[in-house]
Every structure is written in structure tokens, then in C-alpha cells.
Amino acid sequence: MEKKRYAPIIAGNYADPSIIRVGEDYYMTHSSYKLTPGLVIWHSRDLLNWSRVGAALPHYEGNVWAPDFVVHNGMYYIYYPAGRTNWVVTASSPAGPWSKPINLGIKGIDPGHTAGPDGKRYLHMSGGDFVELTADGLAIAGEVRHVYNGWRYPDDWVVEAYSLEGPKITVHDGYYYLTAAVGGTAGPPTSHMAVSSRSRTPWGPWEHSPYNPIIHTESRDERWWSKGHASLIDLPDGQWWMVYHAYANGFHSLGRQTLLEPIEWTSDGWFRAAGGRERLIDQYDDRPHDEGETNAGNQGASFRDSFDGPELGLHWQCEGVEPSARFRPGNHELVAEAASEEAKASPLLYMAGHKRYSAEVEIIVEGPAEGRLLLYYNDAAYLGMGVNEHGVRHFRSFKGYGTMQNHTRRAFLRLVNDAHIVSFYYSFDGVEWIRYDKVADVSGFHHNTFGGFQSLRIGLDAVGKGTVIFRDFSYNAISS
């Protein structure tokens, strides 16, 4: 059977998915790194269409990686690592409000929660470590010990590193199935994978699945690279699925995106990737899959923000600080206080989810400030256009370019990213557009070049001194 060509259910850099089901509702969260609000909560009724309904971390709480979303005895928990320790937040509803983080005081990354046959609660962590929790799940109740040695791939496989990470426990028919990620999460296209082991208890002994790896990119020619870090979920009708992350072929710059794939249980009690399957998977694969990714999961093909409300939506985030520290929406405009470039204050960031797209905004500057529309990976890798008191100019992280003179302190900016080739446009009246005489290649703006596991995001920023006003931001996917 020909392999299905899966599209992302959530496009853009949404890595390390952790998913739960509550009746007929599904909730999911991901690594949020330094992005704030962090641990954004997504909701769906069909596993295909997702919307943001809250954030567990409204304030900056550190560099947040690989969480585990848990429902236990009617309460909701998210366990996550940050700042060389592990934390937990709780809520009575998946959408929140969530408690303040509680420090568990244990090292390790990628916590995975389960309840044992003894009624006690436990956390698995990267490297095969394991610790008992108190009955309320808010503290540890014992010493960390090693209980799991993962499945090993053949020595001649081309991977980044072994890196046993992302343990997730699924209880099914009397077994505890531990699904883990190995192989390194970036690096070569064939590096990452998800593997499975099972035991009658959460602490072993473990036997490895004969179907390992459950998911794995076998060739750089495949549509998705570095597939791995899977979480399992069941449907009310008995179907089973897994969500995982992967890079689009040749597009590390978009980050690790969330994919969905069916699994099936075998007669000997193991699960494996099911390939094509009826019902939901047919709906999934019938969605457009052209190279423009115009229907790339829930990162809508068209988005507009007129900034008419008193608060920014969850599609906007900053790194290391709440957006409200500098950006104030309302009355159909977004007002930003300028910060010096040396201060390295975070731009306001929007997650791009397509291979080809445009972004546009109107900018007005007050005082010796510069308002910017940019593409941002990190403080060392960004580029864009700015409006200042002298006109419009193009800039990159390592160089500034000539200014197109105009003293109105107002301009419309547009950038077009056509599969890594970025062009810049400006207009002083919103009608006549001029292309700036510089075009950039941003294919190298990704983790394997700059580290950090980020993606190339669209940013709005204000630098210098004074105030910048933004109006009518828009994002549009471009069909191939």
C-alpha cells in the first residue's frame, strides 16, 4: 500500500506533543521554550481541527521543554522541566486557570506520569529514571532510581545520538506501555524515532516491542524528517492514534510540527503504526497537501489582527517576558514602547506555519524610534524592514542597509517568504508598493545552525526611543 502523505495537525514549531482525552474532547500542549504565555493549551473535538483555549504559564517561568499533560482523579496536571529541575501546575479544567508552578526538586527532563497497580503515582524521566510521587502528585515521595534501558537501534543507522527521552506511559489490557524517543531530535533526517516497551508494572521488568521503531524516517527523500516523540490517544469508538513531531523535508526553519498517525493493536498485544485506515484518516488525508501547505493544520491560511481588544490573543508570544510588558493593544492599534537594540528585548512573535507566506502591517513611529516587521530566529539571526523618522530601511542581524527617504513617519511593510527566499516591500500610501532592492535566503535559520530548537517566526518590534503604533497585521499563505 502506498504510504499516506500526512499533513501537520498543528503547523509551526509545536514540538513534543502531549495529549489527553476527556470524553469526546481532546486537549494538547507542547514545549514552549522561553515563549510567553507558555504551555498553550489546544482543544479539539475531532483530532484534526484545533484551537487555543488557554495557557498554563501566563508569566515567564523559564525554558520549558517536553511537558506531560495528565488527567488524574478529575484533576489536570502538567509536569514539565525548566531551570534544571521539574515542575507541576494543576487546574480543575484543561483550559485553566492553572496554579502557580510547584518545584518538584528533581533533575532530568521530559517527565512522564503514571499511576501504578499499587495505587501510587510515579514519574518517568529521560535516561530511564523513575521516582515515586506523593498521593496529590505535587511532591516526590522517594529517591530517583533507574528502571528502564531503552531499545537500541542497529549500530550502522545514521542518527544524531542515542538520547533516550520523552517517556510516555499508556496503560492497556494489563500492560504499561512506555513509548520513548531515541536517536536525537534534530541532526540527520533519519535521526529521531519513537520506540515502545511494555511491563506489568511501571518499574519493569521491560520487554521491547518487536515492531520497533514504531515511527522513523528511513530516508532523506521522505516528506517528514526526524519523526519521533510520540504520545498515544484513544477515541471513544476504540480507534487508537499517536501524535508526534517532525520536520518538513528541507524546512528545519519551520521547526518541529505536530503530526497524527493511526496505530493498531496486534494479536500478541503490541501496537504498531497502522498505515492507511478508514474513517478519520480518510478525512485527514483528503485535506489539501500542495507544496504551499495552504491548509497546514490550524495555522490558518489567512489571519488578520486589528488589535481591537484589550488583550493580545494566544497567537502572540514574547521570549522571556509577557507581551504586556511592552505591547498594548486596543482601539484598533498596537502600541509598543521602544527598547534599545543592546537590551535585546523580545519582539512580539507570531508562529509561521507554511512554506510560502506573506506578512503585512502598517507602522507609525513617534520620536526617534523604529518600528519593525521582521523574521526572527534568535538574537543572532533575524532580518526585516524598519520604519523611522527618515523613511524605510532593510536590516539584518549583522548589517543595516540604505534608507528609502520619507518623513511622514508612517509606512506599510510587507515581507514575502517564498520557500526560504524572502523579498521585502514597502508603501507610503498603502496603494503603491515598491520592492526593496535586497532579497535574502533564510534556509539556514534553524536549530542545526543556531541551536535552541526554535523556528523562524514573524515579529513586530520597536527599537530606539519613543513609541511605535502597529495597525492591521495580516498573514497569508501562498499557494504554489
b/e for 142-165, b at 16 or more Cβ within 10 A?
A: eeeeebbebbebeeeeebbeebbb
Q: Check the CA dihedral 471-472-475-480 and report its sign.
A: negative
What element of type H or E holds 263? strand 257-265
DSSP 293: -
Q: What is the pLDDT, as a whole number, of residue 480? A: 72
What are the φ and ψ backbone dihedral angles of 299, each rounded to 5 degrees?
Answer: -100, 85
From CA 312, how far away is CA 453, in angstroms rounded?
Answer: 25
Helices (H), 157-302: 280-285
Residue 189: pLDDT over 50:
yes
- Are 35 and 317 a contacting pair, CB within 8 Å? yes
- Are 351 and 358 a contacting pair, CB within 8 Å? no
From CA 359, how far away is CA 414, in angstroms rounded?
Answer: 6
Residue 267: pLDDT over 50:
yes
Scanning the structure block, which residue is given the C-alpha cell 511532591?
139
Per-residue model confidence as pLDDT tens digits over 422-445 = 999 999 999 999 999 999 999 999
- Terminal CA-CA length for the chain: 28
Q: Which three cell numbers stand for residue 232?
A: 498515544
Helix (H, G, I), strand (E, B) or coil at 115: strand
Average pLDDT over residues 177-186: 97
- Are 101 and 57 a contacting pair, CB within 8 Å? yes
Report angle CA 67, 68, 71 to the nearest 5 degrees: 145
Give the predicted TM-score (pTM) of the model. 0.94
Per-residue model confidence as pLDDT tens digits over 272-292 = 999 744 334 444 444 433 333
Q: What is the pLDDT, as a whole number, of residue 342? A: 77
Q: What is the pLDDT, as a whole number, of residue 3? A: 40
Average pLDDT over residues 393-419: 97
Q: What is the pLDDT, as a whole number, of residue 6? A: 60
Nearest in space to 298 (alpha carbons), one of 370, 222, 352, 236 = 352
**Single-letter code of the amino acid located at 318:** C
From CA 323, how far away is CA 321, in angstroms rounded?
Answer: 6
Residue 408: pLDDT over 50:
yes
From CA 103, how far away is CA 401, in angstroms rounded?
Answer: 47
- Are 122 and 86 a contacting pair, CB within 8 Å? no
Helix (H, G, I), strand (E, B) or coil at 297: coil
Q: Which three cell numbers stand for residue 270?
A: 503490541
Residue 159: pLDDT over 80:
yes
Q: What pLDDT band is residue 299 in, cutting at 50, 70 and 90? A: low
The mean pLDDT of the chain is 93
Q: What is the pLDDT, as a whole number, of residue 294? A: 37
Q: What pLDDT band is residue 340 in, cutting at 50, 70 and 90? A: confident
Residues of the chain with pLDDT > 70, as a percent, come to 93
Q: How far is CA 190 from CA 249, 250, 349, 435, in A?
A: 11, 13, 30, 39
Residue 226 region by backbone torsions, left for phi larger than 0, else alpha for psi between -120 and 50, else beta: left
Q: What is the pLDDT, as a whole number, of residue 344? A: 81
Average pLDDT over residues 156-164: 97
* Spatial CB neighbours of 136, under 8 Å, sequence gap ≥ 6: none
DSSP strands (E only) in 296-350: 302-305, 316-319, 327-330, 333-337, 348-350
Residue 415: pLDDT over 60:
yes
Average pLDDT over residues 68-87: 98
Per-residue model confidence as pLDDT tens digits over 122-143 = 999 999 999 999 999 999 999 9
Q: What is the pLDDT, as a whole number, of residue 290? A: 35
